[in-house]
């Protein structure tokens, strides 16, 4: 099964982002836009994982989550991979506590390795983002990145991580992956000074 670990995007943040992106969609038919149901912040993409390893992931991810406090995050800006002039992925960035988010991603990846599922993207730097669209052939999306670069969403608190299974689409061109949460684990709640 194809797995990844992520932080969910709350409805309010998704509403705001959808409102910002919706006007651009009709002008960019060459992009395959992701749906709200696919919006998440990936901490570690694990790729294909067998049942045995999958069963060992839960306790490892629970420990990883418990080591990190809830995080303030928000969505903002825009960019593209590998570059806006020849994009295959259009994204919005993740604002907040970059070091803490990177540390959480590293803990999740370490837990996955210990469970026997080395992250598929191991060795690449962690670049927090939310994928807005993809394209098969490289596309110059610089005007779109410019248009979305000023976007700044309302902050929220990430309180848990999810292990998600990705069911790949059938052979139809507009099919999208379907996601199924297999488990979720809370981040540590920080003590409030003076209480």
State the Cα–Cα distance between residues 109 and 73, nearest whole angstrom: 20
User: Is 40 considered catalytic here?
Assistant: yes
Catalytic residue among 40, 68, 167, 174: 40
Alpha helices in the chain (DSSP H): 11-21, 51-66, 98-115, 142-148
User: Is 68 considered catalytic here?
Assistant: no
Q: Which long-range contacts (CB under 8 A, 24 or more apart) does 15-18 make?
A: 16/75, 16/153, 16/154, 17/75, 17/92, 17/130, 17/151, 17/153
Catalytic residue among 68, 129, 167, 174: 129
Mind telling me the catalytic residues? 40, 129
């Amino acid at each position: 099964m194809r797995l990844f670990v992520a932080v969910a995007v709350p409805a309010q943040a998704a509403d705001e982002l959808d409102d910002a992106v919706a006007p651009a969609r009709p002008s960019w038919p060459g992009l395959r836009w992701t749906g709200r149901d696919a919006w998440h912040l990936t901490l570690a993409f694990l790729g294909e994982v067998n049942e045995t390893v999958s069963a060992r992931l839960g306790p490892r991810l629970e420990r990883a989550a418990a080591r990190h406090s809830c995080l303030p995050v928000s969505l903002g800006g825009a960019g593209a991979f590998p570059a806006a002039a020849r994009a295959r992925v259009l994204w919005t960035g993740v604002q907040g506590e970059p070091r803490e988010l990177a540390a959480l991603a590293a803990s999740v990846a370490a837990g996955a390795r210990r469970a026997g599922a080395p992250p598929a993207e191991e060795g690449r730097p962690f670049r927090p983002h939310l994928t807005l669209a993809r394209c098969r052939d490289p596309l110059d999306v610089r005007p779109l990145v410019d248009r979305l670069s000023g976007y700044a969403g309302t902050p929220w608190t990430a309180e848990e991580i999810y292990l998600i299974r990705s069911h790949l689409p059938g052979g139809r061109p507009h099919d999208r992956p379907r996601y199924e949460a297999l488990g979720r684990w809370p981040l540590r709640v920080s003590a409030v000074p003076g209480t």
